[in-house]
Amino acid sequence: MTLLIRFLRSPEGVAGLVLLGLLISVALLASVFFPRDPLSIAGPALLPPFQDRAFPLGTDRLGRDVLAGLMHGARASLAVGIAATLVAMVVGALVGTIAGFAGGIVDEALMRIVDAFQIVPGFLLALAFVSVVGASLLVVILAIALGAWTGPARLARAEVLSIRERDYVAAARVIGMHPLEIAIREVLPNALPPVLALGSVIVAGAVLTEAALSFLGLGDPNLVTWGSMIAEGRNVLRTAPFLSIIPGIGLVLTVLGIYLFSEGLGEALARRRIRA
């Protein structure tokens, strides 16, 4: 029984996969349905949803199409979440593998660095980094990754500590492989599955962090994001609450889809380990 079959037997995993598939489709098709800049004025201001076929979800205070912003915002949110997670996973997995495999003073030094980063909450670290460096897409990705790499590092280290004394690692030492080559080629691939399962949680956190930064005006000003749309709607919350509610629903569905997907993936990996 493959991992995919075990995953598809999980109702939570299937539901999460469907939700994420829909959201990714929306993000990929944004430029097809709305090739114009979503920040451009498209119609009358503050048009309510379902009042005009040209603007199914209405328009904001400046007359920008809410549906266009929602679809382009999905692309921005998912791109930032996935990119920040990849950076955090790569850095964390490498640091954790080196720390766990080397041991001794190297392990102590790297873990103290991890502790130093974990002292400060990830959102505050991202907030400070963006405030100092400046708001741009790349800076936001690095800022989020800066507060998210410690989890994969600790998990990878724990896995490596249980792997490094196994027979195939000892055999690699005997045939004269360099310790760094053993760590990267032999140990790291076997320590990755739990770290990859953590990745979905990091994506959800990254999406929410990006939305919070954009809500505070620290996102990329040249991009439409769900956080910036919620912030825009805050100014007319009493008269046009849909401007904040619609992107808020998008955020909820994204995080829910990622959570359900991670639940299904975790169950599939757990069953795989039990059978192994």
Q: Worst-scoring range by mean pLDDT, 6-15, 17-26, 261-270? A: 261-270
CATH H superfamily, domain 3-27+58-275: MetI-like (1.10.3720.10)
pLDDT tens by residue, 139-178:
999 999 998 999 999 998 888 888 877 777 778 777 877 7
CB 236 within 8 A of CB 243: yes
pLDDT tens by residue, 86-119:
999 999 988 988 888 888 898 899 999 999 898 8
Locate all alpha helices (DSSP H) within the chain, ordered by sequence: 3-8, 11-28, 30-33, 66-102, 104-119, 122-133, 137-146, 150-163, 167-174, 179-181, 188-215, 226-234, 242-275
238 CB-near residues (< 8 Å, 6+ apart): none
Three-state DSSP at 140 gives helix
Q: What are residue 76's phi and psi, to 5 degrees?
A: -65, -45
Across 126-151, average pLDDT: 90
**At 272, is the pLDDT very low, low, confident or very high (cuts 50, 70, 90)?**
low
**At 1, is the pLDDT very low, low, confident or very high (cuts 50, 70, 90)?**
low
36-67 exposure pattern, b = at least 16 Cβ within 10 A, e = fewer: eebbeebeeeebebeeeeebebbbbeeebbbb
Structure tokens at 107: 């392990």
Residue 222 is predicted with a pLDDT of 85
Question: Tokens 């904001």 correspond to what residue?
Answer: 60
How far apart are alpha carbons 6 and 106 in whole angstroms? 39
Residue 270 is predicted with a pLDDT of 66
Residue 158 is predicted with a pLDDT of 87
Residue 163 is predicted with a pLDDT of 82
Residue 121 is predicted with a pLDDT of 87
